[in-house]
Chains A and B, each alone.
Chain A
Amino acid sequence: MSAHLEDYRPIVGAQVIDELRMLAGRVGHRRLQHVNSTSVGGGVAEILTRMVPLLRDLGIDTTWDVIKGNEAFFAVTKAFHNALHGGTEHISEEMFDVFRSTTEMNLADLDAYGDVVVIHDPQPAGLIARKPEVGGRWLWRCHIDVSTPDPRVWRFLKEYVAQYDASIFSMPDFAQQLTIPQYMVPPSIDPLSDKNRELSDDEVAAVVERYGLDPERPILTQISRFDRLKDPLGVLHAYRLVRRRHDCQLLLAGGGATDDPEGEEVLREVRDAAGDDPDIHVLELPHFSDLDINALVRGSTVVMQKSIKEGFGLTVTEALWKRKPVIGGAVGGIRLQILNGVTGFLVHSPEGAANRVVELLGDPTLREAVGAAGHAHVKENFLTTRHMRDYLLLMLAMEHDDTDLSVLTGSA
């Protein structure tokens, strides 16, 4: 599907679209190059899949490159990811060597040419070594929660990060002691993607039934990668507590990302814990299941994202956009999205989650009010159009000194 910015006008309003066109005029012919580590699976790939064509439609010369890596490299970067999230990981010197050697290989392969180059996450961070040769302004975009990183891994990564012109984090808590500017840019969802676009009631019911769920009974849902940091076992625990008071079904569904080798192990643990309860549905969804995910969330009564650590939590954004009441772990970017008691509920334990589920299942008016506020919150802050605006502003920021205020006079 080709993307056209004008399609977003009825959703976000004329002012937002006109503002983007005005900014694009200012950015002019400057080229924007994104580099990350996977083209499918995971939030970063999803954002770029939708945003790159829209930036092009806006007239910005935008490209997206993906680095290469073997299984060993992605096992290392997964361990780095967990360590940066504050988890306990054994990181050996050999692992740093695997990272360095894959970086060397990609340095030789990468065609860097952007006036502004945005490197996403730790995996391709070492590409900064090309900057002196190709020039341009380089931004390191961190999508993960680095509020309490493993000091050894962060020290290793910081050597690279410090060479960038600026860094970008998803929320204030992730700020670091760095000499380069640190911008805050929350990620976003695309309201017109298959994962988020409006669906008819019939379409929703058909998908819900196809996966063996009963549309007439309440459905609790968590959609996310099978990853310990998403606490699927905690969700199972919460479901069992809820079942003492309410009839309901549980749906745990997630896909895999090519840079996440840990998923299968966690999936096995979840299936073991689910046992033979016919109301627990554990689904491993293949890539390109976006329409099904959309329908499953829309068919849910309450959505959960009980993460223990979270970079941002786009699954929360997606559920809020669909006017669903969301119960989320009080961590990372979930706290930016769920204004406790207004756009959803923040919890710290399976017991807390279960209490909120019971409250919501018994109060349709509360579900509706929370869902409406959540939708409005996403519309204002977490849609792809706001994300595009921030990238355009970053491109302008890279042209000016780091002053508080730049006056751009005259017409574009």
Chain B
Amino acid sequence: MTNQPSFVFDTELHLVVLTGIKARSLAELQAELPRAPGSSIFFHTHQEYLSHEFQRSRHYNDFARWVSETLREEALAEKLAAIDLLAFTTIRQLRDAIIQTVDAYLSELDRAPYECRPEDAFHFCRSRSFVLPTGLVADDVEDFFRKVASISNASLYFHFFEARLRLGRRTSDFSRWLTDRGRPDLAKAIDALNPYIRTLDELRRDIVQLGTGASE
């Protein structure tokens, strides 16, 4: 056994907050993106991953979906959907990438951008989150993988998505703890999982699978 602390499983519950910021055209989106709160950028690029599979669009994030479904700017929607969220470790970097993508598209647009009806506007929201301990604690690596199998989607989402990008921990809480526990091999294997192309149920199953047979 090492002297490293146990892993405490937390969960995150949130309320949606309306910022009052909205956009009806690409020009307005371009103008509002820099002033929208960072948590709003995170919200609109991540909320789909917590939802039921059938609710997911092929656009992966709210910006791409709105640009496609409302503004019908399919090429930009594809570019926004293609932004690799795993490539960023801070929301600032992610925001810059979105802004650059919109800027580049607008600079090459040879016509006036379409303005949608007021009822189809994009509304910037953000989440107001509460992090609470679930009561589940893992004392060792084997125990950790056993307990991961039973945690809620919200808990998995928090330790994987929120911790890495929104809390600026640069990696998932699981990988950090496993590294501290002397299992960088397992940490690396978890880092190699792309959470953005899996449902949370699939992600949980893949993590549990990695731990099969693992012991300290």
Contacts and interface: CB of A to CB of B under 8 A. Distances in A.
Contacts of A390: 15
Contacts of B15: 183-185, 390, 393-394, 397
Interface string A346-387: 000000000000000000000000000100110010000000
Interface string B128-158: 1111111100000000000000001110000
A404 B168 CA distance: 14
Interface string A174-198: 1111100111110000000000000
Nearest to A391: B15
Contact of A19 (B51, B133, B152): B152
B75 interface: no
A133 interface: no
A173 B14 contact: no
B20 A182 contact: yes
Interface centre among B52, B55, B127, B132 (most CB of A within 10 A): B132
A406 B129 contact: yes
Interface string A120-153: 0000000000000000000000000001100000
B100 interface: no
A58 to B, nearest CB: 15
Contact of A408 (B126, B131, B153): B131
Chain B at the A interface: mostly helix, strand, loop or mixed? strand
A147 B118 contact: yes
A373 B51 CA distance: 13
A74 interface: no
Interface centre among B14, B15, B39, B125 (most CB of A within 10 A): B15
Nearest to A400: B130
B177 to A, nearest CB: 17
Contacts of A389: 13
Contacts of B133: 408-411
Contacts, number: 101
Nearest to B167: A405
Interface residues of A, number: 43
B4 interface: no
Interface in B16-51: 16-20, 22, 37-39, 51
Interface string B161-191: 0000011000000000000000000000000
Contacts of A406: 129-131
B61 interface: no
A1 interface: no
Nearest to B50: A380
A182 B21 CA distance: 12
Interface centre among B37, B128, B131, B135 (most CB of A within 10 A): B128
Given A19-B152, A393-B130, A183 B16 contact: yes
Contacts of A404: 37-39, 126-129
Contacts of A183: 15-18, 128
A182 B54 contact: no
B130 A408 contact: yes
A377 B53 CA distance: 10
Interface centre among A15, A176, A397 (most CB of B within 10 A): A15
A403 B39 CA distance: 10
Contacts of A396: 130
A15 B52 CA distance: 15
A75 interface: no
A23 interface: yes
Contacts of A177: 20
A169 B19 CA distance: 12
B185 to A, nearest CB: 30
Contacts of B134: 22
A184 B18 contact: yes
A173 B39 CA distance: 19
B125 A184 contact: yes
B17 A181 contact: yes
20 contacts: A23-B132, A147-B118, A173-B121, A173-B123, A175-B19, A178-B20, A182-B17, A183-B17, A185-B15, A377-B55, A393-B13, A397-B130, A404-B37, A404-B128, A405-B128, A405-B129, A405-B131, A405-B166, A405-B167, A407-B130
**Pairs of residues from A and B, 9 with the lowest C-beta to C-beta distance, nearest first:** A172-B123, A175-B18, A184-B16, A182-B18, A404-B39, A405-B129, A407-B131, A15-B152, A408-B132
Given A185-B15, A406-B129, A411-B135, 6 more contacts: A15-B153, A19-B13, A173-B123, A183-B17, A393-B128, A408-B133
